[in-house]
C-alpha cells in the first residue's frame, strides 16, 4: 500500500508510481489511434457514415458514471472492511497480551511468552493465507518444533494456531494459573480473533458477482469505442484527445475498483498487511519487555517479509 504526504497540486499531475495509468497506457494508445483513424475518414466506416452525435453520449455517460460510482463504492467498502478487521486484530492482540501478563499467576514468564508468540504466529499465518503464500518459513521462527509440526500439516493454519491458543488457556485453568472468570475473558477474545479470521475469509472468498463486472466492463469499452463517432463532426482533430481523456476517467475508475476489490493482495493500493502485522508484533513485544518482534523459541532470528 502506498502512503504519501499530500503533494503539491502541480506535482500530483505527474505522479506515476501507485497510479493505474501505467496499466492503462496501451489501451489508451489504441483508443487514440482508433480515434485518429475515425477523424481521418470523417466518421465513415466501410463507406457508411455512422450517424452519431454527442447528445446520446452525454445522457448515457451520466448513467455510466453513476454505475461506476456504485462499483467503486462497493469495492471501497470491501477495502475498508478489511482495514477495520486488521484494526480489530491489533486491539485484540494487545488485549490478549495484557490479559496474559496481568490475570492470574504471572510468574511463569516462559508460558506467557509462548502464548504471545502464538499471537504473532496467528498474524503471520493469517497474512499468508490471505495472500496465498507459504507461511512455513516465518512460522518456523515463531513456533516450537512440536507446534510447527502440527501447523505445517494444516491447510487453514490460522485456525490451528487459534486451537493452540485455546489449549494454552485450558492448561492454564487446569494448572490453577487462571480461574473460570479469567478463562472466560480469554475465550471472548479468542472468539473475536475467530471473527476476524472469518471476516477476512468472507471478503476473500466472496468477490463481486462476475456477471456484474463483465456487464460494466463491456459497457465502458463500447462507450469509449463509439464515442469518437459522436464527436468527430463537432470536434474534428480534437476528438482523439477528448476521447482519451474521457476514456482515462472511466477506465481508470474501473481499474481502481478491480484493484481494491480484493484488499489483501500485493498491488500498490492494497492493504499493507506486512507493515500492519509487523506493527502488531512490535507492540505486543513491547508489552512483554522485548525491543522488537517476539523472539522465537529457538536460537533462530526472527524475519518478517514485507
Burial class (CB in 10 A: 0-12, 13-18, 19+), 245: exposed
pLDDT at 194: 95
Domain range spanning residue 170? 88-206+271-287
> Does residue 231 share a domain with residue 110?
no
pLDDT at 306: 45
pLDDT at 8: 65
User: Is residue 168 a part of any domain in this protein?
Assistant: yes
pLDDT < 70 positions in the chain: 1-10, 12-14, 16, 18, 291-306
Locate cell 511463569: which residue?
108
Contact 4, 18 (CB under 8 A): yes
pLDDT at 279: 92
Q: How many domains does the chain have?
A: 2
Q: Which of 80, 86, 94 is nearest to 197 (CA)?
A: 86
3-state secondary structure of 255: helix
| Torsion of Cα atoms, 135 then 139 then 140 then 146, to 10° | -120
What nine digits make up the cell of 227? 464515442
pLDDT digits (tens, 9 = 90+) for 239-248: 999 999 999 9
> Does residue 143 share a domain with residue 103?
yes
User: Is residue 38 a part of any domain in this protein?
Assistant: yes
pLDDT at 300: 35
**Quick one: which H or E segment has residue 48?**
strand 48-49
> Does residue 193 share a domain with residue 56?
no
User: Is residue 302 a part of any domain in this protein?
Assistant: no
pLDDT at 297: 46
> Does residue 111 share a domain with residue 36?
no
> Does residue 60 share a domain with residue 33?
yes
> Does residue 111 share a domain with residue 71?
no
- Give me the sign of the Cα torsion angle 250, 252, 258, 261: negative
pLDDT at 295: 44
> Does residue 156 share a domain with residue 98?
yes
pLDDT at 107: 82
Amino acid at each position: 500500500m502506498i502512503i504519501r504526504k499530500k503533494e503539491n497540486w502541480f506535482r500530483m499531475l505527474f505522479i506515476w508510481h501507485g497510479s493505474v495509468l501505467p496499466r492503462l497506457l496501451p489501451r489508451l494508445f489504441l483508443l487514440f489511434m482508433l480515434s485518429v483513424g475515425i477523424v481521418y475518414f470523417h466518421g465513415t466506416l466501410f463507406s457508411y457514415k455512422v450517424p452519431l452525435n454527442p447528445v446520446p453520449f452525454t445522457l448515457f455517460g451520466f448513467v455510466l458514471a453513476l454505475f461506476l460510482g456504485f462499483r467503486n463504492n462497493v469495492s471501497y467498502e470491501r477495502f475498508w472492511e478489511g482495514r477495520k478487521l486488521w484494526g480489530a486484530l491489533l486491539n485484540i492482540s494487545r488485549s490478549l497480551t495484557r490479559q496474559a501478563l496481568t490475570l492470574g499467576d504471572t510468574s511463569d514468564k516462559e508460558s506467557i511468552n509462548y502464548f504471545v508468540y502464538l499471537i504473532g504466529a496467528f498474524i503471520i499465518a493469517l497474512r499468508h493465507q490471505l495472500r496465498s503464500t507459504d507461511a512455513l518459513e516465518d512460522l518456523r521462527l515463531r513456533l516450537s518444533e512440536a507446534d510447527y509440526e502440527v501447523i505445517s500439516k494444516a491447510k487453514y493454519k490460522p485456525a490451528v494456531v487459534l486451537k493452540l491458543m485455546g489449549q494454552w488457556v485450558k492448561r492454564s485453568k487446569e494448572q490453577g494459573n487462571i480461574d473460570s472468570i479469567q478463562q472466560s475473558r480469554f475465550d471472548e477474545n479468542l472468539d473475536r480473533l475467530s471473527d476476524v479470521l472469518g471476516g477476512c475469509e468472507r471478503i476473500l472468498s466472496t468477490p463481486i458477482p462476475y456477471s456484474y463486472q463483465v456487464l460494466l466492463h463491456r459497457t465502458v469499452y463500447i462507450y469509449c469505442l463509439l464515442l469518437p463517432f459522436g464527436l468527430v463532426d463537432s470536434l474534428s482533430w480534437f476528438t482523439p484527445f477528448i476521447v482519451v481523456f474521457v476514456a482515462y476517467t472511466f477506465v481508470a475508475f474501473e481499474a481502481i475498483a478491480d484493484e481494491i476489490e480484493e484488499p489483501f493482495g500485493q498491488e500498490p493500493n492494497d492493504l499493507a498487511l506486512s507493515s500492519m502485522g509487523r506493527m502488531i508484533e512490535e507492540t505486543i513485544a513491547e508489552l512483554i519487555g522485548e525491543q522488537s518482534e517476539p523472539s522465537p523459541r529457538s536460537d533462530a532470528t526472527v524475519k518478517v517479509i514485507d
